[in-house]
Amino acid sequence: MLNYNKLKDRPRDFLAVTGRTLEEFTPLLPAFQAAYGILYPPHLPYEGTPRQRQAGGGVKGVLASDAETLLFILVSQKTHPLQTLHGLQFRLSQSQTNSWIHRLLPVLQHAVRTLGHAPERDAHRVAASPLVLESAPALAIDGTERRRQRPQDPARHQEHSSGKKKTHTDKNILLVNAHTRKVVYLGPTVAGKTHDKKAVDDAPIAYPANATLDKDSGFQGDEPPGVLTRQPKKSPEATS
């Protein structure tokens, strides 16, 4: 079972399951608490109908603290486990897990936006993003895939079938600030089979002037104007 009080004393495990260090988790918690109070006011139950009893009454939930609740949704977003497995990690049923994920994800997104850490979603506004302007414009781009349920429609089944991952996936293009290591742009979700360069061509990114861009072979041929691109090359020994 995953437990905040135990994980906080194991920094490597904490980072592995949440994607954040404890130092990054700590300032996120009060923002998460505030966002929860805004989206779900304490004088109203989850359904939004008038409350019949005082807040805090009734059966106590398994996610007994705000830290535990934040841990739950961060693990879900970092590891993307099946809901049944995720529920077992927190002593919840699959249906409870599904309900909590849908309830908490908007809270997490609100908290991240409040802290100014939410990545830009409009490719045309990347150049003016505060996350880009935090440092010199040294950026890195990559495509990332995550598993998804197998589509029932045959055509969509082929689109989402990733030969690289040997499963069905969705893909997003990520742009990262190389100095701060923050994700500054999150591209549209596309089928996992989509080539990285095509995904960028369909949503061309506006880069700041004199930016440098590290990329891999998946973006070969993508040469944005006014940007110095750098792509690693295989050594002669590796190709001989």
Once rounded to an integer, what is the mean pLDDT over residues 175-202?
93
Q: Is the pLDDT of residue 237 over 70?
A: no
Give one DSSP letter per residue of 21-32, joined into a string. Answer: -HHHHHHHHHHH
Once rounded to an integer, what is the mean pLDDT over residues 103-108?
96
Alpha carbons 70 and 74: distance in angstroms, whole number: 6
Alpha carbons 39 and 206: distance in angstroms, whole number: 33
* Residue showing tokens 């090359």: 233
Task: Provide the mean pLDDT of the chain.
Answer: 87
DSSP state of 126: G
Q: Give pTM, 2 decimals.
A: 0.74
User: Could you tell me the pLDDT band of residue 155, with boundaries at 50, 70 and 90?
Assistant: low
235 or 120, greater pLDDT: 120
CA-atom Rg of the chain in angstroms: 21
Alpha carbons 183 and 195: distance in angstroms, whole number: 20
Summarize pLDDT for 77-89 with one digit per residue, the tens: 998 888 999 999 9
How much is the pLDDT for 47?
58
How much is the pLDDT for 183?
94
- Could you tell me if 146 and 169 are in contact, meaning their C-beta atoms sit under 8 angstroms apart? yes
User: Could you tell me the pLDDT band of residue 159, with boundaries at 50, 70 and 90?
Assistant: low
How much is the pLDDT for 105?
96
Q: Is the pLDDT of residue 164 over 80?
A: no
